[in-house]
């Protein structure tokens, strides 16, 4: 079966490796079969979160043909904190669904 292993070492940078595995292979088997550990030898692969098609799973998850195994870096900033900081920077006027109103229009339109 064909499986794609994907890792993003930095924002907007993606490294993909397509591997052929036997039926009954796991996400860990896919990583070992790929060239990614050789490309990034200093990286602790066991510490990364793993997912299949964007859904978090464990390293022992059985894979199906044409699955996409994604290795996720830890978040640098919590998304809720980032949103609060962005809101404080731009202020209340430029935010929200109805930030731009037509002249003379009602609130919310």
Tens of pLDDT, residues 24-62:
999 999 999 998 888 888 888 888 899 999 899 999 999
- Beta-strand pair 2-10/67-72: parallel
User: Does pLDDT of 88 surpass 90?
Assistant: no
pTM of structure: 0.68
Q: 3 has which bridge partners?
A: 19, 67
pLDDT of res. 91: 67
What whole-number percentage of the chain has pLDDT above 70?
84
Tell me if 68 sits within 8 A of 4, measured CB to CB. yes
Tell me if 52 sits within 8 A of 61, measured CB to CB. yes
Length of the chain, in residues: 109
Tell me if 50 sits within 8 A of 70, measured CB to CB. yes
Rounded Cα distance, 22 and 63, in Å: 10
Domains of the chain, by residue range, sit at: 2-72
Which has more pLDDT, 39 or 99?
39
Strand segments (E) across the chain: 2-10, 13-20, 49-52, 55-57, 67-72
User: Does pLDDT of 99 surpass 80?
Assistant: no
At the topology level, CATH places domain 2-72 in Ubiquitin-like (UB roll) (3.10.20)
Side-chain half-sphere CA neighbours of 37 within 13 A: 11
């Amino acid at each position: 079966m064909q499986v794609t292993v994907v890792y993003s070492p930095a924002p907007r940078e993606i490294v993909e490796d397509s591997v052929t595995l036997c039926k009954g292979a796991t996400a860990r088997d896919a990583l070992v079969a790929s060239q990614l550990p050789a490309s990034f030898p200093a990286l602790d692969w066991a510490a990364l979160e793993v997912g299949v098609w964007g859904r978090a799973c464990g390293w022992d998850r059985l894979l199906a043909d044409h699955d996409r195994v994604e290795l996720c870096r830890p978040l640098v900033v919590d998304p809720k904190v980032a949103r609060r900081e962005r809101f404080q920077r731009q202020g209340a006027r430029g935010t929200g669904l109805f930030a731009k109103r037509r002249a003379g229009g009602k609130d919310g339109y």
